[in-house]
Structure 1
Amino acid sequence: MSDRLLEVEDLVVEYPVKGRRAAPLRVLKDVSVDIRAGECVGLVGESGSGKTTLGRAVLGLAPVTGGSIRYGGRDISHLSRRERRALSADIQVVFQDPYTSLNPAMTIEQILAEPLTVRDVDRAEARRRVRDLLDQVQLPADAGNRLPREFSGGQRQRIAIARALALEPRLIVCDEPVSALDLSTQARVLELFKEIQERTGVAYLFVSHDLAVVRHLSHRVAVMYRGEIVEWGDGDQVTSRPQHPYTQKLLLAAPVPDPVKQQQRRAERRRLLTAQRQAGQPAGALS
């Protein structure tokens, strides 16, 4: 995997703050990351770290103040609405909440067929494509006749994944797509993401607060803290043997089923926090 599909370089995102003389709020600070064709890059950090803002910037949903976002070599930082709509066939998204992201008044067939109108697909071909999408996400063909409320949370997220696949994108931004699901359902949906990538070659920007989740899928991992990337590298290395104190904290905070190991993790986390305080570093990085 050597082709760079997406290149984010020195990205800055700022939001205005009320007040005539107030400085804008800088949410992303010179962030650089890239995604290769067919690769999954995990983007991990706690709430407020800026990870979701980065995903939104790639989708054109957050203002780019500085730096650039290049897709296939083309700068997409400041596209018009028409240009962004044309790009939607290549870049899709799966949101965190699978229920609010689906129109409750539409059947699943209507939801999955709607993106196909971009390509002027006729009705018969749209129905065939919907059946194929349902099969890809392991849902029965008759699911197309039902409404979103008739499905469980895991099934609704499978429908959201199917909709993202409808236009055969090259990149999908996955914004905390399993955080609203229970652990057993998470595992099955993560395995589905993996199977789809192996079969289609689609790339993922996989946003999560959970190192264990991104470890399951990611070839490389970027760790965000206070709007900056503090660690970036091979997925196994970052999620198993992290170098930065903040990443170490995220790893130690993750629960494990073994009570002895869990107790050891708590002790190690306290040790890191004490060492950080003695070094005069801000406690927030490990609190």
Structure 2
Amino acid sequence: MSDTLLQVDNLVVEYPGSGFFAKPARALHGVSLDIQRGETVGLVGESGSGKTTLGRAILGLADVHSGTISYGGKDISRASRGQRRALSRDIQVIFQDPYSSLNPVMSIEDILIEPLRVHRIGTAEDARAKAARLLERVNMPRSALSRLPREFSGGQRQRIAIARSLMVDPKLIICDEPVSALDVTTQERVTSLLADIQRETGVAYLFIAHDLALVRQISRRVAVMYHGEIVEWGDAEVIGARPQNPYTKRLLLAAPVPDPARQRIRRARRLDLAAQA
């Protein structure tokens, strides 16, 4: 069996223009990357860089103009609705906003067991038991099952979202900026939790974020996106220590440091790189 779980080759995604005669807007320009079984690939870039569009294309939420997305050696770039439903057992997602990603009128128990109902997996008793186990795994009490999402903080809601994504034992989770709405301390707890779960289960992540320093901590390899293209791709530590592309250097300099003097120097260097772009 190949170690390659997901392969994206020369992917192009376009959105219709806003006017009758407007040309389509190209969001992705020939993007290629791969994700190996059990690894984390970081996808980093500023807002509008195309990183979320790539995640949506993998999930079947953005139409592919050309190129391919292969999962387990099979092209899924134009999969039917039925095929996508089956694929959702293997490919799950954790969305950015923990406040809108959970149905506010459903109990936590119903939110967690819904994927099992959709795929008709196990009995109702099995589903409730698994929901309780996974809640505890993400450091939430079993008593949360009977409560509503509004009763929890942002960090707690994101833990619940992680538990939901694990209910069907996926092989790949698209993490679409899962910590950007959280404070720094909570970010560290959530990323540590994701890393622990990966070691236990062997799940792979595509971790999408705008913070390169954060992405380096959790990822083995990193792809840097700029204007719909991958401008740098490779080992996370190598890119962090010796970035080649000016845009990657700007992203690294954008990360704050506690020393005010160093922060001023970094800001000046970042502005110089921006002016040269």
| Shorter-normalised TM range | over 0.9
Q: What is aligned with 1:181?
A: 182
Query: How is 1:189-200 mapped onto 2 (pairs within 5 angstroms)?
Result: 189-200=190-201
Query: How is 1:143-182 mapped onto 2 (pairs within 5 angstroms)?
Result: 143-182=144-183
119-128 or 163-172, which deviates more: 119-128
255-264 or 167-176, which deviates more: 255-264
> Displacement, 1:137?
0.7
Q: What is aligned with 1:34?
A: 34
Q: What is aligned with 2:217?
A: 216
Aligned identity (percent) is: 65
Distance 1:151 1:133 in 2: 17
Q: What is aligned with 2:83?
A: 83
Normalised TM-score (structure 1): 0.93
**Are 1:95 and 2:101 matched, yes or no?**
no
Q: What is aligned with 1:280?
A: none
1:181-207 per-residue CA deviation (whole Å, 9 max, x = no partner) reads: 011111111111111111111000000
Query: How is 1:51-90 mapped onto 2 (pairs within 5 angstroms)?
Result: 51-90=51-90
Query: How is 1:231-250 mapped onto 2 (pairs within 5 angstroms)?
Result: 231-250=232-251
> Displacement, 1:254?
1.2
Q: What is aligned with 2:260?
A: 259
> Displacement, 1:161?
0.4
Q: What is aligned with 2:269?
A: 268
SS for the counterpart of 1:230 is: strand
SS for the counterpart of 2:230 is: strand
SS for the counterpart of 2:256 is: coil
Gaps of at least 5 residues in structure 2 are: none
SS for the counterpart of 1:180 is: coil
Distance 1:142 1:270 in 2: 50
> Displacement, 1:267?
2.9
**Are 1:137 and 2:127 matched, yes or no?**
no
SS for the counterpart of 1:119 is: coil
1:13-41 per-residue CA deviation (whole Å, 9 max, x = no partner) reads: 00111333321110000000000000100
> Displacement, 1:218?
0.3
**Are 1:17 and 2:17 matched, yes or no?**
yes
> Displacement, 1:135?
1.6
Distance 1:187 1:230 in 2: 27
Gaps of at least 5 residues in structure 1 are: 277-282
- What count of residue pairs does the alignment treat as equivalent? 276
SS for the counterpart of 2:136 is: helix
Normalised TM-score (structure 2): 0.97
Runs of 4+ residues over 6 Å off in structure 1: none
